[in-house]
Structure formats: C-alpha cells, structure tokens
A and B are shown apart, each in its own frame.
Chain A
Amino acid sequence: MTTTTPTKRTVPALSRLPGIPGRVLPVIATFVLFVLLFGAGSVRYEGFTSGQVFANLFIDNAFLIVLAVGMTFVILTGGIDLSVGAVVALSTMVAAAALRAGLPAPVVILLVLAIGTGLGVLMGLVIHHFELQPFIVTLAGMFMARGLCFVIGVESISIKDPFFRALATGTIELPGGVVITWSVVIALAIVAAAVWVLHRTRFGRTIYAIGGSESSATLMGLPVGRVKVAAYAISGLCAAVAGLLFSVYMLSGYGLHAVGMELDAIASVVIGGTLLSGGVGYVLGSLLGVLVLGVIQTLISFQGTLSSWWTKIAIGTLLLLFIVMQRLFMRRTP
C-alpha cells in the first residue's frame, strides 16, 4: 500500500545481550538446551554420562547431520528443499541395486553422488529460471525421487558389498575407549567444509546475501542465479552422501527408508537457529539441532517405557518453542 511514502525497510535485528552478538543467541540457546537435556539424562539415568552415549549421538545421526548441512545452505538462501528424504531413499536404493548388479563400490558411490547432485541442479534450475516456489518444486522432486525408488524395486534390497560392510563395522577408537564410525568422520568433515565455504568464500557470503535480499544481491552484481542453483546442488549432494551413510547404517536399500527425514532435517536447522526467511544462521547451529534431536531420542530409549513417537511430540514442541523464541528475539529496527 505504501507506494508513495518512502518505504522504510523494517529488517529484523536480533536483540543484543552485552558482549554477545544477537544473531548467535539462538545457537547459544540450542547449545544450552542440549547441555540441559544431556544433564537431565545424566541425573536421571545411570550410564547416561558416558563418552560413548555422546559418541552414539553422532553415530546414529551422521546421515541427518549431513542432510542438515545441505538444508542449511538452501534455507540460508531463503528456500527450502523437501526432496532430501526421498533422495536419501533413492540413494540407498540405487546403491543397493547397483551393488547387487555387481558394480564396484567406488563406481556406485560416484553414481549415487552424481544422481543426488543432478537432481539438486535440476530443481535449482527450475526454481531459478521459472521463478517458482522452492516448496512446490522440491515437493515435486520428492514425489519423483520416492517414486523412482519403487521403479528400481518394491522390496528392500540388502547390501552385501565388502566395502560397505567394512565401513559399517569399522570403528575408530578415540582416547578414553570411546568408539566412533567412519560415518561420523565423514559427517564432521562435511560440517567443517561447510563452515569454511559459508564463512570464508565469496560463494558462501553470496548465499547469505541472497537470503538477506535477493533483489539487492542481484543489483550488487552478485551471481545470484548460479549461487542459488549451486545451493540446491549442494543440498542434493549432501542428500546423496547422507543416503550412502544411511545405506551403510542400515546395510540395505529400500523405497520406504528415510520417510519424513527431510522434516527432521528442517527441524534441526530451525532449532539450530537458522531463520526460515533466510540470511541468518550457522551450520554449527544445525549440528547442535541434530544433537538435540538425538539426545531426545536417547532419553526416550533410556526411559524404556515410552513409545518412540514421543520423540516426535518432543520435537514438535521444541520446534514451536524455538520459532516463538526467534520471534521474541526479533526486534523491528526503526
């Protein structure tokens, strides 16, 4: 309506505590929440306070960490990627089927990565060139990827490849007797790479710029189209990697794997403090978001009598709390 009055831009600014930049606050809140939940578990249950329980959070959620990293890129641009859960399933299916057909493991891995990245590029191109809503385009991608799984096969296919099995069973012993899997190493390496890319490269800063204001980024002469498509490509690549980690974790490919996992990824990113409107957030926050989800699952499994669906209820409540909290932190600048 205000076409004639100068439009003062009301941009959200996170309020400040002394010494702490406002935008880091949600990440700190997530960290505090994680510590509290872990602490509560330690007080309540015997054997909770062990390095291995902590390490298991990473082992059991390595694929979700990778997925959340990719999702962070997309959400930072102000978009969303609903296809990643289905791409994980497709990746497990392609991997299992290709391995069964006798293709060597390295070729299978490259094939899966290429398919995931390709789907991401495709969706990115459609979103950018036809100026469509990411929600709808990736929803279409989700249906397609999920459907493709069942074109390959309707039954679960088990993976017997020695390399995949070695990855699944192989462990690394850390000081203190704590054991982790290679999946954890891969996931954490991807987190580290993502932090570097987002904060120390022009590409990464352009991701933030697009999320802040896409039209401004265009007028500033930044390669908006290329970077946006790349964000979906990265999300697709991460989904493929997550799919490989998931097939290692499950040692099977199945069209009904990872149903709703895209929503877990989105929840982790949001709980980790990234704004759905884009431009504000951290990969480390997303990692913490995954850990919070993981610790809730662990708590419920330690409790023993609660159904695992309580995890969903807890996540739903948390998500709501965090979104409300973000809104409360927001302040309109004059």
Chain B
Amino acid sequence: MTDTPSTRTAQPGGPVSTGAPVVAMRGISMEFPGVKALQDVDFRLFPGEVHALMGENGAGKSTLIKVLTGVYTATAGTTQLQGGQVAFSGPAEAQAAGVSTVYQEVNLCPNLSVAENILLGREPRRFGSIDMAATRTRAEELLGRMGLTIDPGSILAEHPIAIQQLVAIARAVAVDAQVLILDEPTSSLDQDEVAELFRIMRHLRDEGVAILFVSHFLEQVYEIADRMTVLRNGRLVGEHLTKDLSRLQLVSAMIGRELGVLEEVERLAADASDEAGGTPVLEATGLGRRGSIAPFDLRIGAGEVVGLAGLLGSGRTELARLLFGADRADSGVVRVAGREVHLRTPRSAISAGIAFCSEDRKGEGILGDLSIRDNLVLAMQAARGWARPIPKRTKDELVEKWMTALDIRPNNPDALVGKLSGGNQQKVLLARWLVTQPKLLILDEPTRGIDIGAKAQIQKLVTELAAEGMAVVYISAELEEVARLAHRVVVLKDRSKVAELDGSASVDDIMHLIATSDSEQVAS
C-alpha cells in the first residue's frame, strides 16, 4: 500500500499535498426526535484513497453516509463536493453528481441480465429504442475495466452473491463515480471473494476514485484502507492514516478507553480454568456454520455466566443463534447435560431447555399488541403443550409472581406490552422465558437501549439466576458489563472465537485481545 495518501498529513484542516478533498463535510449534526445521531462531525474524502469509516453500532456511520447521499438532510453543517456546496435530495441525485453507493445487500434486479443491471436507466439509445448491441458493448467495457470476465447477457441471479456484489460496483462506477461508498460490502463474502473485491477497489482507487469503506472486520480495514475516520456516539473521535494508528489505538478510539491503561496490561493466558467436575449444562464441540461463525468449542456449567465479548459483527449473535437452533450448524456436536442433541430449530432448543432473548426485542421477541399477562401465559402454554390448559388460578399466580420478581411496571398485567418502556419490555421478555424454567438462558444485548435503573435490575437478576443454578450466556457490546457479570468471557473476533478468559479478566484484557489477537490462532 505505497500510495499517495501516505504522504498526506493526517491533521484535519492541515495542508494536503495532493490537492483538495473531493468530499468535505463540516460541522454535520443530525437530530432525530429525542436522539442526536451526529454532533458536529467533520469528514473529508480525498481522490484516490480508500477511507474507512469506523465506529461501533450507533456511532453514526450510516447516518453520516445517509447525509452524504441525501437520504437525510442534516440539521446543521455543510457538505461540499469538488469544492461546491451540495445538498442532495436523494440517492438518485447523489449518483448523478458522481456519488454512488453499494449496499451490504445486493440492490440489483435478479431477473435481469448483468448488462441491464449495470446500465438500467442509462442504456444507450438509438432512435428512441435501446441499442442492445451498444448496451452489451458498454457493459463488457465496464466489466473489463474491473477485470471481470462474465457474460453480460447472462441473468444476474445465475451468479453467486460475490459476483452480484461486483456487478453492483460496476454499476456504481458506470456513472463515472468520483466517490464510491461501500457499506459493509464484505459481510457475505468469503476470503477469496474479499480478495477479489479488494483487487478491484485498489484498481479503482488508482484510477482516482475516492472510496468510502465501512466494515466491521478490523483485519480487512487494515488491509485496504489508507485512512480512517473514527466516530463514537455520534461524535468525531479522529481522522488518522492507517499506518499511524495501531489496532489497539483504533479499538480504544472506537470503544472509548484511554490508551495508557491498555498498554500496561499484559497478555493473558487464553486458557480459562475449567469448572471443577460435573457435566456441563451445555457442551459444544467444533460447532460452526460457514459464513456465519468459525467452528468453536464451548462449555457452560450450571450456575455459570459466560460472557460473549467482541465488536459488532464479530459473531456474538451468530454464536448464540447456533446454540438456540435459530441457525442450523453445519459442523460440530452439541451436548446438553451430557446427551447429544440436534438443534435444528428453536423448538428443539427450547425442548432441550435452552432459552434465547433476542437483541431485537421488537422484531423477534415480544408481542406488543398483547398484554403483559398474555405474553407471559403464551410462553407457559407453549412450554406445557397446547393440549393441557393451565388453570386460571395458576396463571394468575405465576403472572403475579414474575411481575413482582422482576418489578415490571406498571404493575398491571393487562397493560399492553408495546406501551411499556424498553427496560420493562425487556423484563417481560425475560419473564416469558423464565416461566419455562430453562436450564440455559441466552441473553443477547439484554440491556441495550434501556435506562440505568432497569439495567442494574437485569444485571442483578442474572447474578441471582446463576446463583440458583441456571447457566447463562450473556452477550453485550458493553465490555464493562460482560467483565463484571461473567465467570468466563469468550472473546470473538471476525467471526471466530479467539480466546476464553476467566472471571478475573478486565475490560482491558478483553480489548487487548480484540485488538491484537490473530484470528488464525484459535485458543480454547
């Protein structure tokens, strides 16, 4: 990566040796009702560079991109393109001005040919008719420019996702894009495909295209990016040349910890002390799913809280979904209480005594239009089987018991769950699983987006449940939370398990591992 950007200064606003930025955003603020998504963010993008936009979930990356492409109109701040003030009305106008976006999902039409997908809406015409031959030639040219040799006449759906992704990029650059925004383009690609994508990105960069790249894979960012801008909680943390910023510095910038503290920490032994004796509640050996998470081993004993730590996209949720049968593993064995089980569907996991509180509580968890009572009873009834009705008295007692135990407010079993606060919704969801008395409870981001009070209550509850002998898998983006609650911490990075730490591990240990450990050397 001996490209021109390395000669530039990383100081925002400082002198730049290779001309002016193609995009300059200054003082961008974006407010939604009740949320400040971006506050006074500056962002620059130079021609001929790959610029990574980094930050955790909710840092404001997508909001910034949407402001740039005109999906949102910034509450404050200015955007300049080639030195001229712009405010796009939408992606189409941005595209016409040379700012193209390729999204994580392939946004093309699978039923049309490759050539049409590249040129749709811009086909060369002759006498009002689309000139098919010219369309084909032009598509061939564009594909050739990217070094792709596929038949432009073939139907898009016949190609693998990776090729479709590249066709999307061909479409993006067909407009003579000066700015190419790639939003998580690698998340569904395998290694070879990523290498192919990077080859093309470098090629385009060398032609002078400015590429804005968003990825959660640290190694990929370090491989391809010349420069990075880090956002945290809607604010700019800094703009750096990749070579000037170590992985540890980057992670600490993203998560927001002081570097000095980190440097003092010595590397921990990756091996955790195993629980003394007894069959584990759950034991996974070589469990994995291609494209989702690399095979891992995991033991969870009764009364144990195992934390899953890692950045967004590191495979936290994917691991949990495998344990719950929400995704089907393509390798490995799971034993529950010593007996081998096949977790093909959530149903089989539930009957094995596994419960899963999803991070997306609105979409996958609670039924907002039903009352608290109905939500709780549903789970009980499901656990008991539909053929055996629960007496009303028992129902009322159980609902009463759990509502008191979890301090759900308002203390009215007939209140609609959709009207409760986030914290109380989370408690209802928890209660719903707890009434089924699971042996293993998987909590995915149980405290996200809820207030401090409820957070503390949920954390306390987890400790109590574990003390009563329940095994808990606890996933959280907040490393402090994981470190505080967990008896053991499994560290994930780039979709594989990289280490397992014992309960004495600190946040810094975990961060160190995320920042430095190599995905290849899987410790267990």
Contact = CB atoms under 8 A, between A and B. Distances in A.
Interface of A: 1-9, 11-13, 21, 23, 196, 199-202, 205-206, 208-209, 211-213, 215-217, 219-222, 279-280, 333-334
Contacts of B116: 205, 209
B360 A3 contact: yes
Interface stretch (B77-85, B106-114, B379-387): B106-114
B130 A205 contact: yes
The 6 tightest CB contacts between A and B, nearest first, are: A212-B109, A6-B188, A221-B92, A11-B110, A279-B111, A212-B111
A2 B158 contact: no
A211 B321 CA distance: 33
A222 B321 contact: no
A215 B106 CA distance: 11
A220 B291 contact: no
B121 A222 contact: yes
Contacts of B289: 5
Contacts of A199: 130
A201 B363 CA distance: 41
A202 B107 contact: no
A208 B129 contact: no
A197 to B, nearest CB: 10
B155 A1 contact: no
The CB with the most chain A CB atoms within 10 A, among B130, B132, B364, is that of B130
A221 B109 CA distance: 13
B160 interface: yes
A9 B112 contact: no
A329 B326 CA distance: 30
Contacts of A200: 129-130, 132
Contacts of A202: 120-121, 123, 125, 130
A212 B226 CA distance: 37
A219 B112 contact: no
Contacts of B107: 213, 215-216, 219-220
A1 B364 contact: yes
Nearest to A332: B157
A196 B188 CA distance: 38
A11 B120 CA distance: 19
B327 interface: yes
B237 interface: no
B160 A220 contact: no
A279 B112 CA distance: 8
B157 A12 contact: yes
A208 B110 contact: no
A11 B157 contact: yes
A13 B130 contact: no
B187 interface: yes
Nearest to B128: A201
A216 B321 CA distance: 29
B102 to A, nearest CB: 10
Contacts of B123: 202, 205
Given A6-B187, A221-B91, A221-B92, A209 B155 contact: no
Contacts of A216: 106-109
Nearest to A196: B129
B26 to A, nearest CB: 27
A254 B101 CA distance: 55
B105 interface: yes
Contacts of B171: 220
Given A217-B120, A219-B103, 20 more contacts: A1-B326, A1-B364, A3-B360, A3-B363, A5-B318, A7-B188, A11-B157, A13-B110, A13-B158, A201-B128, A205-B123, A206-B121, A209-B116, A213-B110, A216-B109, A217-B109, A220-B120, A222-B121, A279-B111, A334-B160
A314 to B, nearest CB: 30
B108 A4 contact: no
A5 B288 CA distance: 13
A209 B318 contact: no
A219 B91 contact: yes
B249 interface: no
Interface in B123-172: 123, 125, 128-130, 132, 155, 157-158, 160-161, 171
A4 B326 CA distance: 11
B364 A3 contact: yes
A329 to B, nearest CB: 13
A3 B359 CA distance: 10
B445 to A, nearest CB: 11
B126 to A, nearest CB: 10
5 contacts: A205-B116, A212-B109, A212-B110, A220-B120, A279-B112
Given A219-B91, A220-B107, A208 B158 contact: no
Contact of B130 (A3, A4, A201, A280): A201
A219 to B, nearest CB: 4
Contacts of B158: 13, 333
Nearest to B130: A200
A327 B161 CA distance: 23
A220 B289 CA distance: 33
The CB with the most chain B CB atoms within 10 A, among A1, A23, A279, is that of A1
B447 interface: no
B292 interface: yes
Contact of B109 (A13, A201, A213): A213
A9 B129 contact: no
Interface string B323-352: 000110000000000000000000000000
A203 to B, nearest CB: 10
B91 A9 contact: no
A9 B161 contact: yes
B352 to A, nearest CB: 19
A316 to B, nearest CB: 28
Nearest to B135: A205
Contacts of B326: 1
Contacts of B130: 199-202, 205
Given A200-B129, A201-B128, A216-B108, A5 B121 contact: no
Given A333-B158, A334-B160, A9 B106 contact: yes
B95 interface: yes
A209 B291 contact: no
Contact of B111 (A2, A3, A206, A211): A211
A221 B111 contact: no
A279 B104 CA distance: 23
A248 B387 CA distance: 64
B472 to A, nearest CB: 20
Contacts of B291: 5-6
